[in-house]
């Protein structure tokens, strides 16, 4: 499904932008399904905030147990210090995750039709499996910043094999928090791992404390329907959304089943 030129670009840059990958009908299907799930969700039962910048603090049992479930995580800016919502429920969700590609029939149908495993094999995975999915909202005015990070920090294998497939469901611009990446940064060592400690808490283990290479981030502004493929070691980032336009995206991460998947990884389930 990829041309050799595209594979070479991915290997050189650590990412690849693929235009017109997902059509309008599939986009509508995912967005409408998300609306329905959020409408059914009892927002008073769980108010877990998702923040990559403070993930050790915000990773509670609800988050850790989401590997084989469909769960909802809020934007920090949606809830005040007293626990009251500042915005309506439909505008408060940061993301839905992490197993809708396995257990939700609508998401599963779309994911299966896009054949990510075929592309992953082209990129070097021997036995690819989809291990995590996220519907990301980047809500207007309150969509949180996602700090510079590498996906293999969270989905670590030995040897490392993580590949991310990020689909723009809406136009992603510099104003509403599009992805930004360090071209060639995937050749940097993995900086840290997010794992389960012996006491059961989540923590980051520092593997390399050197500075990121000094290079300007590449701004990846794309239109709805575009796919961005991300190498697991690629440092990438998205700024907070201070605009009035949301930036919905859907992502699926794959790893190689022939690689060792440690029991210390945060995501653990028989389903994956």
pLDDT (0 to 100) of residue 79: 80
pLDDT at 57 over 50: no
DSSP SS3 for 28: helix
Rg (CA), the chain: 18
196 compared with 218, residue with greater pLDDT: 218
Alpha carbon distance 120, 254 (integer Å): 8
What are the sequence ranges of the domains in the chain?
4-256
Q: Quote the tokens at residue 216.
A: 């300007």
Q: How many CB atoms lie within 10 A of CB 71?
A: 18
User: Do the Cβ atoms of 100 and 86 come closer than 8 Å?
Assistant: no
239 compared with 47, residue with greater pLDDT: 239
**CATH hierarchy code of domain 4-256:** 2.60.120.620
pLDDT (0 to 100) of residue 48: 64
What angle (nearest 5°) sits at the alpha carbon of residue 203, between those of residues 151 and 248? Answer: 40
Over the stretch 21-39, which tens digit does the pLDDT of each residue have?
A: 999 999 999 999 999 999 9
pTM of the model: 0.93
Over the stretch 178-190, which tens digit does the pLDDT of each residue have?
A: 999 999 999 999 9
Q: Quote the tokens at residue 75.
A: 């934007």
Over the stretch 203-217, which tens digit does the pLDDT of each residue have?
A: 999 999 998 877 789
């Amino acid at each position: 499904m990829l041309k050799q030129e595209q594979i070479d670009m991915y290997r050189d840059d650590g990412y690849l932008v693929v235009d017109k990958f997902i059509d309008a009908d599939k986009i509508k299907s995912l967005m409408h399904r998300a609306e329905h799930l959020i409408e059914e969700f009892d927002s008073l039962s769980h108010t877990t905030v998702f923040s990559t910048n403070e993930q050790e603090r915000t990773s509670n049992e609800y988050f850790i147990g989401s590997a084989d479930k469909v769960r909802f995580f809020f934007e920090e800016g949606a809830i005040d210090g007293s626990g009251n919502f500042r915005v309506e429920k439909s505008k408060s969700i940061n993301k839905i995750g992490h197993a809708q590609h396995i257990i939700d029939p609508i998401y599963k149908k779309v994911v299966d039709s896009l054949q990510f495993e075929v592309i992953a094999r082209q990129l070097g995975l021997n036995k690819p499996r989809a291990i995590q999915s996220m519907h990301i909202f980047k809500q207007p005015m309150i969509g949180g910043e996602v700090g510079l990070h590498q996906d293999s920090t969270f989905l670590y294998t030995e040897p490392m094999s993580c590949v991310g497939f990020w689909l723009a469901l809406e136009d992603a611009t510099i104003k509403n928090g599009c992805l930004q990446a360090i071209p060639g940064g995937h050749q940097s060592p993995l900086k840290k791992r997010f794992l389960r400690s012996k006491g059961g808490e989540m923590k980051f283990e520092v593997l390399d404390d050197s500075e990121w290479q000094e290079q300007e981030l590449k701004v990846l502004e794309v239109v709805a329907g575009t796919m961005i493929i991300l190498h697991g070691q690629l440092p990438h980032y998205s700024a907070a959304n201070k605009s009035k336009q949301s930036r919905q995206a859907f992502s699926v991460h794959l790893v190689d089943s022939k690689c060792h998947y440690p029991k210390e990884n945060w995501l653990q389930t028989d389903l994956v």
